[in-house]
Amino acid sequence: MILLYHHVSDNTPALTTVTPEQFENHLTYLAQNDFEVLPLTEMLDAIVSGGELPERSIAITFDDALQSIYDNAFPLLRERGWPFSVFVSSASKDLNYGGYMSWSDLAEMREYGAEIGGHSASHEHLVRRLETETDSQWLDRIIVEIDEGNRRIEEELGIGVRVFAYPYGEYNQEIKALIRERGLYGLAQQSGAVGRLTDPTQIPRYPMLGGYADIDRFALVANSRPLPVAEVRAGTHVRVAGDDPGILRIRLLGGQYNSSQLACFSSEGARLETEWESPWLSVTLGNFRPGRSKVNCTAPSTSISGVYYWFSEQWLVQTASGDWFPEN
């Protein structure tokens, strides 16, 4: 499992925040339940190469390099000697944006042993084309976003970047191809555990924020397993609200999960109609609302009570007029 945090604070927006008390409770749960907190790339390298990992392996990641991570999360992790990763948009450092860590803060974390990864140069919505931009102009701009952001990290900290976290968790096939060409791992923001079938340019993480960070949910996701999805047929991942969303089809391999209790849910929590024709599961998608829309599919373990196998797929949905959705 990979955990995703943004703010760790008592006074930042709840939508992207856990409190220091919640964060410490998460760490305490991991310690008391014999989890092995691993460096992110060590975990991913082992998964991709078919190597062995401790059964309860977990990695801790932070997007945006926010100041509250340095102030509130870093001391707690350092006390335990645990590794973690921070993903950096270089402009927030170069332009001295308020509320973000400095390059010297990141250098201190790097000296401790934290991994620093890319998060683009400007933290723009990479999938979105500018109003007058051609496809080739858009692609050239995104190449600069990825490469310039990574170059500044390497220049300031003297390290090679191996992992890229998509800003806002947004990507498409072209952006994934750029990440693959550069030999990078690509981190998404939809939920799910990581397994040998996981696309290394679309790696799920469990977001820890707001009402999704209580200790019961934390225990649920920390103990989850990857649903063994061998193939996904999802159509285009950029949609327009009101269009027929169609069917999501996933091909599942066997495993220690109860297929008769497999269920899929929309972003709003509505249970979706499914049809199981082994090895294919077909999910009838409801009407997408503008925004980032996800489908989560889970199935209980047949061998461990309270443990669920998990898979998630994401779409970006424009308004009915073809405009991009505003951020909350």
Average pLDDT of 317-322? 93
Q: How many domains, the chain?
A: 2
Q: How large a percentage of the chain has pLDDT more than 70?
A: 100
Q: How large a percentage of the chain has pLDDT more than 90?
A: 90
Q: Is pLDDT above 60 for 328?
A: no
> What pLDDT, on a 0 to 100 scale, did the predictor assign at position 226?
97
Which pLDDT band holds residue 211 (cuts at 50, 70, 90)?
confident
Which pLDDT band holds residue 276 (cuts at 50, 70, 90)?
very high
- Using the CB atoms, write b or e for 123-152: b if 16+ within 10 Å: bbebbeeeeeeeeeebbeebeebbbbbbeb
In a domain, 323, yes or no: no
Average pLDDT of 107-127? 97
Gap between the Cα atoms of 129 and 120, Å rounded: 16
Q: Is pLDDT above 90 for 168?
A: yes
Query: Are 52 and 184 in a shared domain?
Result: yes
> What pLDDT, on a 0 to 100 scale, did the predictor assign at position 38?
98
Which domain-ending residue is among 223, 239, 267?
223
Query: Are 151 and 167 in a shared domain?
Result: yes
> Is residue 135 within a helix (H) or strand (E), and if so which, with residue range?
helix 135-157
Which domain CATH number covers 75?
Answer: 3.20.20.370
Q: Is pLDDT above 80 for 223?
A: yes
Which domain-ending residue is among 168, 199, 223?
223
Contact partners, residue 36, CB within 8 Å, separation at least 6: 53, 54, 56, 57, 58
In a domain, 324, yes or no: no
> What pLDDT, on a 0 to 100 scale, did the predictor assign at position 194?
97
Which domain CATH number covers 275?
Answer: 2.60.40.10
In a domain, 270, yes or no: yes
Query: Are 97 and 241 in a shared domain?
Result: no
Query: Are 74 and 188 in a shared domain?
Result: yes
- 152 or 235, greater pLDDT: 152
Query: Are 66 and 85 in a shared domain?
Result: yes
Which pLDDT band holds residue 12 (cuts at 50, 70, 90)?
very high
> What pLDDT, on a 0 to 100 scale, did the predictor assign at position 11?
94
- 219 or 237, greater pLDDT: 219
> What pLDDT, on a 0 to 100 scale, did the predictor assign at position 326?
83
Which pLDDT band holds residue 128 (cuts at 50, 70, 90)?
very high
Average pLDDT of 111-128? 97
Task: Point out the least confidently predicted range of 70-74, 106-110, 219-223, 322-326.
Answer: 322-326
Parent domain of 171: 2-223
Query: Are 10 and 114 in a shared domain?
Result: yes
Query: Are 97 and 200 in a shared domain?
Result: yes
Query: What is the overall mean pLDDT for the chain?
Result: 95
Tens of pLDDT along 49-108? 999 999 899 999 999 999 999 999 999 999 999 999 999 999 999 888 999 999 999 999
Query: Are 121 and 239 in a shared domain?
Result: no
Query: Are 253 and 131 in a shared domain?
Result: no
Gap between the Cα atoms of 281 and 185, Å rounded: 27
Which pLDDT band holds residue 235 (cuts at 50, 70, 90)?
confident
Query: Are 93 and 17 in a shared domain?
Result: yes
> What pLDDT, on a 0 to 100 scale, did the predictor assign at position 286?
84
In a domain, 123, yes or no: yes
Tens of pLDDT along 14-39? 889 999 999 999 999 999 999 999 99
Please report, for residues 87, 138, 139, 169, 315, the alpha-carbon distance to residue 143 in angstroms, rounded to integers and kept in the order given: 18, 9, 6, 17, 22
Q: Is pLDDT above 80 for 201?
A: yes
Residue whose tokens read 């998460």 = 26
In a domain, 327, yes or no: no
For the record, the structure tokens of 207 come out as 């977001």
> What pLDDT, on a 0 to 100 scale, did the predictor assign at position 247?
95
